[in-house]
Structure 1
Amino acid sequence: MVPPLGRKFYHSSQTVKMVGLKPSDVPPPLGVKVLSAGTAACIADLVTFPLDTAKVRLQIQGEKAAAEAAKDIRYRGVFGTISTMVRTEGPRSLYNGLVAGLQRQMAFASIRIGLYDNVKNFYTGGKTDRPGVGIRILAGCTTGAMAVSVAQPTDVVKVRFQAQMNLSGVQRRYSGTLQAYKQIFRLEGMRGLWKGTLPNITRNALVNCTELVTYDLIKEAILKHNILSDNLPCHFVSAFGAGFCTTVIASPVDVVKTRYMNSPPGQYKSAVNCAWTMMTKEGPTAFYKGFVPSFLRLGSWNVVMFVTFEQLKRAMMISKQRMEATA
């Protein structure tokens, strides 16, 4: 059985024997959690990346630069957007920015998800096996902010690749991931690579808190009331609930982040100015552009990521125990 987040456990094999726990009840070490989180997030990205690209296209629709590039192309709904992209740009366009996306997840998810339990225990001093919601939110905010500070350049490149169109007669901003990093640094400096850090920290603090804390609480409640055992159905339900709550709370900040990071120099003075421009020119509904693909993407991403994360942790721990047994 894989222990739920938030429960206190014993680490040494001697203590495991003394209290009668199975070896699989021992919590995975930090390295296992970090590697499992990054790998699971990459797998989830591979599955859901077309939905993320459709979300970005819907979010930037209405901007002047996007309108000039698209001209007569109009995106309607997530599947309509995917269909239009395949018809006008080819199926490969759905995976624009995938390399940067995978780089982002290895740097980002490994920190925000892999360190969550350890940061949570740090704030409680290891004195409680059921930390309050406030502690969980604080831990989520902390790991989310840490992850953004490291992975922001990969996010900028990913969004810009997803936004650019592979149309004949339309000049592409970037031809490759490495070239994109170099060009952004040359033309916009370090500030360009970390463009949109503040809205991204805000967005990912919200996402991380809602995602991890909701998953944590739903899973804990399911196990506490013996509704399901700690297996795939439990992980699926917890992840799906976390995905929906996260989309509702984080969508407005996500739209602002996407538009601001994708904007050319000088279009917006700041992320706040970007939000104000959206409100005055397009109305409050602009903040929920791309909501359906956001939910489809976050919901499916959470399901794939958390289910894979739990299975990878279990597999790595079993492998580690077998190696120790034969040593």
Structure 2
Amino acid sequence: FPLDTAKVRLQIQGETKSPANTGHGPVKYRGVFGTISTMVRVEGPRSLYSGLVAGLQRQMSFASVRIGLYDSVKQFYTKGSDHVGIGSRLMAGCTTGAMAVALAQPTDAVKVRFQAQISAGASKRYHGTMDAYRTIAKEEGFRGLWKGTGPNITRNAIVNCTELVTYDLIKDALLKSSLMNDDLPCHFTSAFAAGFCTTVIASPVDVVKTRYMNSAQGQYSSALNCAVAMLTKEGPKAFYKGFMPSFLRLGSWNVVMFVT
């Protein structure tokens, strides 16, 4: 969770009129461990777990839909056939992922806003998980709780497709070139490399998703407007802010998923 929080802080850094820094001077973050150490020094160790309750709520609701419905949706795409190709797996993963995102979006929005919120001082945007749900619904309407659903679903689809395809491609290339045998080091290398490729492709959408979900009402008219504002004001490099913690999270997750 601290890596995810560091990723969010790096992704919103440099954003003009960011609601996360209301009432505070600008805090500069440098790298993964620099961000974590700065947060601990300025806000205390608990700041690394800001939004944990909403994060757990998200994980429970997201995983229950994505994993619980995966086999049923896969059978729908294969029409009951015993042969399950990679296309059917990707379609089932993207479909259940989109359904899970749509259900869990309010918890994700609250999690991101807590992670972005600087804990030091009295000027806090939200004072508790339930207070965040109530405040967002009151100030932005129930649509505010589902802000960023589009880019979130897009990111989920990109991650699902890219990590599976790149893992297979990298593993096949390593085996065909006789660089490695079909054993644990090969699977570990393929999984970690797939995490890197996936982060490269998904990072721009992930940064836009984070900024749009965290934005104050009226700050951006749409996710596309957020992306254009980033490009014009901060340049293309802004789309890769928070790359390293994102890669470390995704790479380690891929190793767990493909190796175990």
TM-score (norm 1): 0.70
Which letter maps to 1:144?
A: G
Q: 1:109 aligns with which of 49, 63, 69?
A: 63
- Partner SS state of residue 125, structure 2: coil
Residues 21, 117 of structure 2: 8 Å contact kept? no
Does residue 142 (structure 1) correspond to residue 142 (structure 2)? The answer is no
**Higher mean Cα deviation, 285-294 or 203-212?**
203-212
- Partner SS state of residue 100, structure 1: helix
Does residue 121 (structure 1) correspond to residue 81 (structure 2)? The answer is no
How far the C-alpha of 1:180 sits from its partner, in A, is 1.1
What is the percent sequence identity of the aligned residues? 75
Please list every run of 5 or more consecutive structure 2 residues that lacks an aligned counterpart in the other structure.
none
Residues 199, 246 of structure 2: 8 Å contact kept? yes
CA distance change for structure 1 residues 244 and 70 in 2, over 3 Å: closer, same or farther? farther
Question: Equivalents in 2 of 1:126, 1:155: separation in Å?
Answer: 34
Residues 212, 226 of structure 2: 8 Å contact kept? yes
Residues 61, 67 of structure 1: 8 Å contact kept? no
Which letter maps to 1:293?
A: P
CA distance change for structure 1 residues 146 and 215 in 2, over 3 Å: closer, same or farther? farther
Residues 140, 212 of structure 1: 8 Å contact kept? no
Please list every run of 5 or more consecutive structure 1 residues that lacks an aligned counterpart in the other structure.
1-48, 311-327
Does residue 165 (structure 1) correspond to residue 135 (structure 2)? The answer is no
* Aligned counterpart, 1:92: 46
Which letter maps to 2:3?
A: L
CA offsets 1:189-241 (integer angstroms, 9 cap, x no match): 21011111111111111122223555577789999x99446xx7676455424
In the TM superposition, what are the counterparts of 1:153-302 in structure 2 within 5 Å?
153-168=106-121, 170-214=122-166, 227-228=181-182, 236-237=188-189, 239-302=191-254
CA distance change for structure 1 residues 112 and 217 in 2, over 3 Å: closer, same or farther? farther
How far the C-alpha of 1:261 sits from its partner, in A, is 0.5
Residues 22, 123 of structure 2: 8 Å contact kept? no
How far the C-alpha of 1:297 sits from its partner, in A, is 1.7
CA distance change for structure 1 residues 264 and 88 in 2, over 3 Å: closer, same or farther? same
Question: Equivalents in 1 of 2:134, 2:77: separation in Å?
Answer: 39
Residues 136, 209 of structure 1: 8 Å contact kept? no
How far the C-alpha of 1:300 sits from its partner, in A, is 2.1
CA distance change for structure 1 residues 103 and 238 in 2, over 3 Å: closer, same or farther? farther
- Partner SS state of residue 76, structure 2: helix
How far the C-alpha of 1:185 sits from its partner, in A, is 1.3
Question: Equivalents in 2 of 1:76, 1:67: separation in Å?
Answer: 17
Which letter maps to 1:81?
A: T
Residues 240, 302 of structure 1: 8 Å contact kept? yes
Which letter maps to 2:56?
A: L
How far the C-alpha of 1:118 sits from its partner, in A, is 4.1
**Higher mean Cα deviation, 276-285 or 236-245?**
236-245
How far the C-alpha of 1:69 sits from its partner, in A, is 4.8
Does residue 131 (structure 1) correspond to residue 85 (structure 2)? The answer is yes
- Partner SS state of residue 126, structure 2: coil
- Partner SS state of residue 141, structure 2: helix
Does residue 80 (structure 1) correspond to residue 34 (structure 2)? The answer is yes
